[in-house]
Structure 1
């Protein structure tokens, strides 16, 4: 599972060959959640509110890159890393 980004203790990943709808996995402090692309809504799991807000902010800045990463990961190709939040 490729790691796309890492910031403030949050790790963002995608699975190769994953199922629709387009989404990414976020991990923080032993918890995880799945976020839809491009809505950035949590579709599974639960993270602390502050971490969720940071992930939504990050995802809104990188919508195009996330969709490109999704297309590559579904095609079993390595997606590019995405810049973290500053």
Structure 2
């Protein structure tokens, strides 16, 4: 699962597999926490993150939605997704 972005100790990854389940999503990791985030709605599908880190991840996802959806399309075709700029 390639890392597509990192910021403030948060790692963002996306599986590269045609059979990955919908809806389009990415995985966010912070220390021992993990969450799956729906790209279209910018909501947590599964798992959790501390409140501060969750706000950062959701803000980043809103800003990068088009890039995330493009990466999802690549990943579903078993291609490596592009790196996406971190939250600054």
The two structures share one fold, judged by TM-score above 0.5: yes
Q: Distance in 1 between matches of 2:64 and 2:48?
A: 21
Compute the displacement of 1:34 (Å). Answer: 0.2
**Partner of residue 41 from structure 1, selected from 18, 43, 55:** 43
Q: Aligned with 1:79: secondary structure?
A: coil
Q: Distance in 2 between matches of 1:58 and 1:37?
A: 11
Partner of 1:80: 82
Alignment of 1:48-67 (within 5 A): 48-67=50-69
Partner of 2:28: 26
Q: Deviations over 1:45-75 (max 9, x none)?
A: 0110000000001001000000000000111
Q: Distance in 1 between matches of 2:38 and 2:15?
A: 14
Q: Distance in 1 between matches of 2:83 and 2:40?
A: 18
> What are structure 2's unaligned runs of at least 5 residues?
none
Compute the displacement of 1:2 (Å). Answer: 1.1
**Matched residues, number:** 86
Instruction: Output the TM-score relative to the length of structure 1.
Output: 0.97
> RMSD in angstroms over aligned alpha carbons?
0.6
Q: Aligned with 2:5: secondary structure?
A: strand
